[in-house]
């Protein structure tokens, strides 16, 4: 370990490091919940999941407004729903795993996996 790393470890505030790691994995989770489809961009959240699920009960195709307010035609709503469900579920699971790992890490070295 070089001297600058040792110095940082010596002075690092554990809570500051933990909070910053948490902030960045939350940003990453939000980034990973974006689903790109047919030229459109959809941030998957519970509202989108619920809306598409409701839509599915009455139709198999539909138009959705993407993040940039562009209307996107979805010709296979069932597949679209499964894809956004997987996107959200996988991102959240990944976020949970990384968060749990941070919670268990009681030193700066463990937080940054040195």
Partner 1 sequence: MSSKGILLFARNNTEIDYIKQAKFLAQRAKEYLDLPVSIVTDTANTDLDGFDKVITVSSDENNVKSFYDGQNYKSNIQWKNSLRTQAYNLTPYDETLLLDTDIVICNSNFAECFDNFEDFQIYKNSIDLVDRETDLEFLRLADSGIDFYWATCVFFRKTAVNKLFFDLLIHIEQNWDHYVKAYGILTSNFRNDYVFSIGIHIINGFKPGSFAKSLPGKLYHITDKSVLKEIKNEELLLLLEDPTDTQNNTLLRTKGINVHAMNKFSLNRCIDEQ
- What character string, x for contact with partner 1 (CB under 8 A) and - otherwise, covers 54-73? --------------x-x---
User: In this structure, are residues 50 and 59 in contact, taking their beta carbons and an 8 Å threshold?
Assistant: no
Identify the residue among 3, 4, 47, 59 touching partner 1 (CB under 8 A).
4
Helices (H), ranges, the chain: 3-11, 14-32, 46-56, 77-104, 108-111
Nearer to partner 1, 65 or 114 (CB): 114
How far apart CA 91 and CA 31 sit, in angstroms, is 9
Strands 62-65 and 71-74: what pairing? antiparallel
| 43 lines the binding site for partner 1 (CB under 8 A) | no
Residue 41 lies near partner 1 (rule: CB under 8 A) = yes
Instruction: Give the integer Cα–Cα distance in Å for 92 and 99.
Output: 10
Please choose, out of 9-17, 49-57, 80-88, the segment that lies near partner 1 by the rule CB under 8 A.
Answer: 9-17
Q: Out of 21, 33, 87, 91, name the contact with partner 1 by CB under 8 A.
A: 21
CA–CA dist 87, 62 (Å, integer): 20
Q: Could you say whether residue 45 binds partner 1 (CB under 8 A)?
A: no
User: Site residues for partner 1, window 83-112 (CB under 8 A)?
Assistant: 98, 108, 111-112
């Amino acid at each position: 370990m070089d001297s600058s790393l040792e110095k940082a470890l010596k002075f690092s505030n554990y809570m500051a490091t933990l909070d910053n790691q948490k902030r960045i994995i939350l940003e990453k989770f939000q980034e990973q919940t974006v689903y790109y489809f047919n030229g459109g961009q959809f941030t998957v959240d519970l509202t989108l999941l619920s809306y598409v699920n409701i839509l599915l009960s009455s139709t198999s195709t539909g138009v959705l407004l993407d993040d940039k307010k562009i209307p996107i035609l979805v010709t296979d709503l069932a597949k679209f729903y499964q894809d956004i469900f997987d996107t959200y579920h996988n991102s959240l699971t990944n976020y949970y795993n990384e968060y749990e790992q941070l919670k268990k890490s009681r030193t700066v070295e463990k937080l940054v996996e040195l």
